[in-house]
Amino acid sequence: MDLQLEQLRLDIDGRQILRDLSLQVGTGQVVGLIGPNGSGKSTALRCVYRALRPTAGVVRIGATDIVELSPRESAQLVAAVTQDATVELDFTVEEVIALGRAPYLKGNQPLSGRELELCATAMRRLDVAHLARRSITTLSGGERQRVLIARALVQEPEVLVLDEPTNHLDIRHQIELLSLLRGLGPTVLVVLHDLNLAAAACDRLGVLSDGSVVASGTPQSVLTEELLAAVFGVQASVVRHPLTGAPQLLYSLMDQTVKDAL
Ligand SMILES: Nc1ncnc2c1ncn2[C@@H]1O[C@H](COP(=O)(O)OP(=O)(O)OP(=O)(O)O)[C@@H](O)[C@H]1O
């Protein structure tokens, strides 16, 4: 199903954090949300997984306004991998991943054979099968991140939102994760800071600045030297990846000549 953010506005303590934010993610597409620190990326995602209710505007999945859904219905449609997910309880990795099925289970109903296979497949895809019996509290940041993504996959959502999922991951796992997102099935909205990885992994990008989408489209159309200067305040040269043709950015460190040019 497609995901639509329609004219979202969010005010906190009299300050507009999101202003008329509109963005569309087509069914099965991977759309990257990029923008400087504090531009509203995490806040926009929070509106999608209902941690925040916008002051105005609508988030739709297919034809459904998500505020009309029960928490269980919503958890069947949207899975979120967030920065602030805390897993303090002393659960094993396989128990944490199995929790992804909670929106479908009643009471203490055990997982079916199909659900156990789903968990095993997600563990293999995220390279955490060897950690199955370990306590989640003993994992490294990157291992833990991969477990939380496996749990989100097990949820079989229509829409998957991820907030900087490559944080903590080494470069191999960053590339593996972003490659995985592309063939996954659900509609994906992902916040990324690494613009080169965003260009490689996403069908489209939405650029946030000061709570609004200031540009959206293919990475090629969005990642221009002018936009990078105007929105991020950096001077970058845009070249083509020699194998894929995706835009890739080469940055210059800021000496006075560069600062003067911006
Ligand atoms: N609960 C809150 N109370 C007050 N201000 C908030 C709250 N949540 C977010 N903000 C402010 O809203 C703005 C957008 O925050 P948000 O976390 O969405 O930005 P971001 O684009 O995800 O930033 P980053 O790249 O640094 O993670 C920031 O200025 C932040 O300080």
Q: pLDDT of 59-101, one tens digit each?
A: 999 999 999 999 899 999 999 999 766 666 789 999 999 999 9
Distance (Å) from CA 212 to ligand 1 centroid: 13
pLDDT for 208: 98
Q: Which of 21, 33, 41 has most ligand 1 atoms within 8 Å of its beta carbon, as the pocket-test mutant?
A: 41
Distance (Å) from CA 181 to ligand 1 centroid: 25
> Residue whose CA is closest, atom 18 of ligand 1?
40
CATH superfamily of 3-258: P-loop containing nucleotide triphosphate hydrolases (3.40.50.300)
pLDDT for 257: 63
> Residue whose CA is closest, atom 5 of ligand 1?
12
AA letter at 44: A
Token pair recorded at residue 124: 């293999």
pLDDT for 150: 94
Report the atom number in ligand 1 closest to the C-alpha of 45. 18
Distance (Å) from CA 195 to ligand 1 centroid: 20
pLDDT for 93: 95
pLDDT for 145: 87
pLDDT for 217: 97
> Residue whose CA is closest, atom 2 of ligand 1?
12
Residues with a CB atom less than 6 Å from ligand 1: 12, 17, 35, 37-43
> Residue whose CA is closest, atom 7 of ligand 1?
12
> Residue whose CA is closest, atom 24 of ligand 1?
37
The three-state DSSP-derived secondary structure of the chain is: CCEEEEEEEEEECCEEEEEEEEEEECCCCEEEEECCCCCCHHHHHHHHCCCCCCCEEEEEECCEEHHHCCHHHHHHHEEEECCCCCCCCCCEHHHHHHHHHHHHCCCCCCCCHHHHHHHHHHHHHCCCHHHCCCEHHHCCHHHHHHHHHHHHHHCCCCEEEEECCCCCCCHHHHHHHHHHHHCCCCEEEEECCCHHHHHHHCCEEEEEECCEEEEEECHHHHCCHHHHHHHHCCCEEEEECCCCCCEEEEECCCCHHHHHHC
Distance (Å) from CA 146 to ligand 1 centroid: 25
Q: pLDDT of 197-211, one tens digit each?
A: 999 999 999 999 999
> Residue whose CA is closest, atom 13 of ligand 1?
38
Q: Which of 8, 12, 17, 190 has most ligand 1 atoms within 8 Å of its beta carbon, as the pocket-test mutant?
A: 17
**ipTM associated with this complex:** 0.97
Low-confidence ranges of the chain (pLDDT < 70): 84-88, 254-262
**Nearest by Cα to 4 from 76, 68, 75, 62:** 62
Domain ranges (residues) in the chain = 3-258
Report the atom number in ligand 1 closest to the C-alpha of 83. 27
What are the CA-CA distances from residue 47 to residues 5, 50, 155, 186, 199 (Å)?
Answer: 9, 5, 19, 18, 24
pLDDT for 184: 77
